[in-house]
Amino acid sequence: IYTLGSSDPASVLLADTRNGAALPSISITSSGSTTYYVDCQADGAAADITMTAPGFPRSTAHVDCVLPSITVAVFLGSVTGANGTYRMSAWADPARLFASLYAINPNNPNDGNALFARSDSDRIAVQVQVTEPAVLKASLSTILLDAPFDPLSQEGALTVTPLSVGTADLVFSSADQRVRSPAPLHFVVTVPFTANVPVPISGGFQTLYSLGLTGQIPPATSVAFSSSDSSRLLISTDPREVGAPSATLQLNSASPFPRIYLQALTSSGEVPLTISITGFDSITVTVRFKDPVLTASSPLLSSSTLAPGATTTISSSFESFTPTPQSQSVRLSLEISDTTVLRVTPAFVDLSTTSPFASFQVQGLAPGTATLTLRSSNGVVAPPQVNPLRVTVAQRPLLLRGVEVGKNLAAQMALTLPPGVAPNTTINISSSDPGRALISSSPNTAGQPQISMAASGQTVLFYVAGLADSGEAKITAVVPGVGSVTATATLVPSGIGWTNDFLSSDLYSVSAATFVSAYALDPATLLPIAAQNVRQGITVAVQIQSDRPDIAVPVNPSVVLTVSTPVIMRNIAPGDATLTVIQPPGFSSPASRQRLTWRVAKAPLRLNVPGPLGINTQQQIAFYEVPVVARGKATTISSSDPAKMVVSADANVLGSATIIVAAGTPFFVQGLDSRGTVYLSASLDGFAETAVPIQLTGAGILLTAQQQQSPLDAGGSILKDDGAYTTMFSGTTPINLNVAVLDADTGSNPMLPTILSLRPGIDPSIVVQSTNPAVGTIQRSPVRLDQTASSIISVDFQPVGLGDTEVVALPPPGFTIPAGRLAIQNGRIQFHVTLPGWDIGPQPPLEKGTARLVRLDLAANVKTFATSLPITIQSSDPSRLLVSRDAATAGSVSISMTLAAGIRSAGAFYIQALDREGSVRLAITAPGFADTYFDIPLADTTKPTVQ
């Protein structure tokens, strides 16, 4: 039971419901959060509201009574803008705006509360005036305000319709002295089309020209294109037909991009093209004429070599222009100087009024050189870098490089094949002297004088095994249909050596190891030149000796060597030991890498530092790989700069410069500054002192909007690049809070460490607020950030009215608001509260004469309704697309459906295509919903598909 009372009933009274009696005090029974109403008695008055409940401390909220303001919060429709100026196309859908009453903090315009009228007699009458009625039309001249906006109600709603191009102000005023009127809203109504200028075109050719339209095109609207000089420029609606001085097209919303073809009859000068759309002033576009330019593209322009049997393409066009129907046909041909070297198909290509490109296939036939010359029947010559094009047909050689291989070792060789060698082609590889070198397909198979392998790519890998320490053998690879290639395998001495000259390990290391490897040696110097595998068929045992067995010894004094092999060490005491390799029979002593200095150092105490430490936060630090002999021993932990960072054994106690903990026990570092580097040290007798740097940085509260996961009732928000989208019928949207580290100056680059919390002495209660409470409020704020690391800390965004608002967490002392991350994971999150909408899923093209089942569902961010809802679905062009409730029933321009209570889907309907080009818009309307539009593309199945 909550008990609430006013400190000054003459100024402020309380009510438990909107229409309840206003009293000095009230009691409310609730199992969780509760809502109450404050009734201000006079402008300028103030009072404190005291709240009590059994078992809870007393709480007080202050109320200031201010003169209410009329606010115009939200626009819906095809309108853009901000700060009092809005732009819309002359053909744009009507825009809806909503006025409401709002109490605004005079010291902070972003702070305030939505207001209710006490009764119908207290409703505020607001007059609406348009300064230019010929430009803009308002649906109401007076609106009555009594409550925050309700999307299912018309209270406070006003529709604004553009009439003509121009500017107009929307002025709100009220004779009621109890309210403040808002500033006028300035509207700019623009033309609904855009034109590309200027337009270049080559003489004797034509180009497609389109006009972009925006908005809903009125019936009986047309666009006229007119040439000012028909002797030089004609206009056609079909590229296959000779144009005329002008052309007129009827417009509709299903085809908002009218297209014509501009046909050039000259190659110089320019001609104005006049474009006239019903109801608007004409505009002029300049068409510029130029000489035709023949272009070509081909891989041969970058590499003019082609292998026998290989093919490539050459494509050519006149800058993608097509010939005009009144000009002679343009034929492109590709001539060859030597048909025994190259073949071109086809011999020629005739460009048509609908096909601007010619494509030729060029095939290499035999080694040699030939030139390709591109010719055009209209006499236009291609640029010199393209014409003529000299092409060389040559078989790329087999490539095989020689190798030096050590005695009793195996070295890899690589055979590179030219393009065109078929997969699984058998390749024969042989050694000229099997007494010195053998061949194998892998390092794990025994060598043979000759092997066969199947080609599986352009590179074939195999191995050469050395049987001697001097001389050479010729390695030959034969590829049927291509040829052969020979390389030299040079036999050299081999030896065993360390992979390093010096290594350091600590006394208690759990991974103390070094490596030995077999090397091919330079015959003159015996220096290692390449690490190689031990060949199959022999066993190489290597002895390891330590000159200081009191410091370190190998666990196994002998290792069997195949490839680079580890030698596991046992560390006994700090100091240096020299490890020596004893060469096995058949191997030579290398001039280097025979001895390794192995240093055993005191073991450090290893600390796991998660990352940067934010100001006024703390992180847990853990030991890792603690030697058994150190566990539980008293260890000194210190901060190099306690003015910036302290250490503590308890997360609930502010730390100090130094603490004593048992080795292996976690402790905490606590940041006091946002800049600099502080060293954390750990010391224990018999161990090396550890000092790890900790970077101090800024901290902030990162907000993350959560998308509703349940498909049964859905609701919440849809997350997009510009914020979270929700509706008045979406319920709440969870917002998670996390402590992040970031740049202290800019708030950029916020990161979420694994474990990060507020340090002791910092209030963990975080207030999250909405900058526009008339649009949305925050539930469960404040929240505490002192829960365990596994806890999910969140608040809920509750939509209140249509519009935009920003959600932000008030940062603790020293914190910075995060910036520069995702729109739905940042220090500030934009929430957009809109009218609810619908979803029909993606719609592929619909073939003429066919029908498709379409499922109509609530948009993902809309919850189900407690009552049924009528829906209307309408085609914007019934001559091209119809809608029907039944697949077997001929469709109509519109149908009605009903969304049942508690159900997300309104069911299915059918769309029936009567045309094969363009697209048709479906409009879905329902009370309290935004008008939702979907474009249905229509397909032409009679057109051939080019492969």
Read out DSSP for 199-223? EEEETTEEEEEE-EE-SPPPTT-EE
Q: For residue 816, how far is the Cα from the chain centroid?
A: 26
Sign for the pseudo-dihedral over CA of 797, 798, 804, 806: negative
- Give the other-Cβ count within 10 Å of 231's Cβ: 10
Beta strands in 785-835 (DSSP E): 794-799, 803-809, 825-826, 828-834
How would you classify residue 80: left for phi > 0, otherwise alpha for psi between -120 and 50, otherwise beta? beta
Give the list of residues 6+ apart from residue 767 with CB closer than 8 angstroms, or none.
781, 782, 809, 810
Residue 713 pLDDT = 66
User: Is 489 within 8 Å of 431 (Cβ atoms)?
Assistant: yes
CATH classification number, 494-601, choose in 2.40.40.20, 1.10.760.10, 3.20.20.70, 2.60.40.3450: 2.60.40.3450
CATH number of 838-939: 2.60.40.10
According to the 3-state scheme, what is the secondary structure of 459-505? EEEEEEEECCCCCEEEEEEEECCCEEEEEEEEEECEEEEECCCEEEE
The CA distances from residue 918 to 791, 822, 877, in Å, are 53, 37, 11
Residues 6+ apart with CB under 8 A from 383: 294, 295
Dihedral angle computed from the Cα positions of residues 327, 328, 332 and 338, in that order, rounded to the nearest 10 degrees: -150
CA 537 to chain centre: 55
**Cβ 76 vs Cβ 88: under 8 Å:** no
**Fold of the CATH domain 295-393:** Immunoglobulin-like (2.60.40)
Q: How far apart are CA 742 and CA 751, in angstroms?
A: 6
Q: CA 309: distance to chain centroid?
A: 44
The verdict on domain 193-290 having CATH code 2.60.40.10 is yes
Tokens 């073809």 sit on residue: 261
Q: Which of 868, 910, 905, 920 is nearest to 889 (CA)?
A: 910
pLDDT at 710: 57
If one counts every other C-beta atom within 10 angstroms of the C-beta of residue 722, the result is: 11
Q: What percent helix, strand, coil does the chain show, rounded to 5?
A: 0, 50, 45
Cβ-based neighbour number of residue 457 at 10 Å: 10
| Nearest residue to 678 via CA among 687, 669, 688 | 669
> How far is the C-alpha of 367 from the C-alpha of 937, rounded, in Å?
52
pLDDT value at residue 593:
94
Which CATH architecture describes the domain 69-190?
Sandwich (2.60)
Residues 470 and 491: beta-carbon distance below 8 Å: yes
For residue 594, how many other CB atoms are within 10 A of its CB?
17
Q: Which helix (H) or strand (E) holds 741?
A: strand 733-742
**Which of 582, 577, 581 is CA-nearest to residue 597?**
577
Structure token digits, residue 576: 């240096």
Pairing of strands 283-290, 199-202: parallel
HEC string of 29-45 equals CCCCCCCCEEEECCCCC
Encode pLDDT of 563-584 as tens digits.
Answer: 889 999 999 999 999 999 999 9
Among 134, 226, 102, which residue's Cα sits nearest to residue 772? 102
Q: Which residue is listed with tokens 């700090």?
A: 574
Phi-psi region of 686 (alpha: psi -120 to 50; beta: other; left: phi over 0): left
Q: Point out the residues of the chain with pLDDT beneath 50.
A: 149-154, 942-947
- Give the distance, in angstroms, between the CA of residue 707 and the centroid of all CA atoms in the same chain: 17
- pLDDT computed for residue 266 by the predictor: 95
Contacts for 751 with CB less than 8 Å, ≥ 6 apart: 611, 612, 740, 741, 742
Looking at residue 103, the DSSP 8-state letter turns out to be E
CATH superfamily, with its number, for domain 404-492? Immunoglobulins (2.60.40.10)
Distance CA 280, CA 282 (A): 6
Nearest to 144 by CA among 94, 101, 96: 101
Q: What is the pLDDT of residues 462-513, one digit of tens each?
A: 999 999 999 999 999 999 988 999 999 999 999 999 999 999 998 888 778 9
Residue type, 654: L
Q: Encoding tokens for residue 446?
A: 């025994």
Does pTM top 0.75 for this prediction?
no
pLDDT of residue 945: 34
Q: Under 8 Å CB-to-CB from 154, ≥6 apart: which residues?
A: none
> Who's near 725: CB < 8 A, 6+ residues apart?
717, 718, 719, 831, 832, 834, 861
Residue appearing with tokens 């290509």? 349
Cβ contact 811:698 at 8 Å? no
Contact criterion met (CB below 8 Å) for 499 and 515: yes
Q: What does the pLDDT read at residue 946?
A: 32
Separation in Å, CA 716 to CA 399, 706, 729: 65, 8, 9
> What sign results for the dihedral spanned by CA atoms 631, 633, 634, 638?
negative
Structure tokens at 252: 């509709």
Among residues 37, 17, 13, 41, the alpha carbon closest in space to that of 25 is found at 13
Q: For tokens 């492109």, name the residue.
A: 332
CA 156 → CA 147, 464, 726, 832, distances in Å? 9, 89, 21, 19
N- to C-terminal Cα separation, the chain:
76
Distance of alpha carbon 668 from alpha carbon 690, whole angstroms: 16
Burial class from Cβ neighbours inside 10 Å (0-12, 13-18, 19+) for residue 242 reads exposed
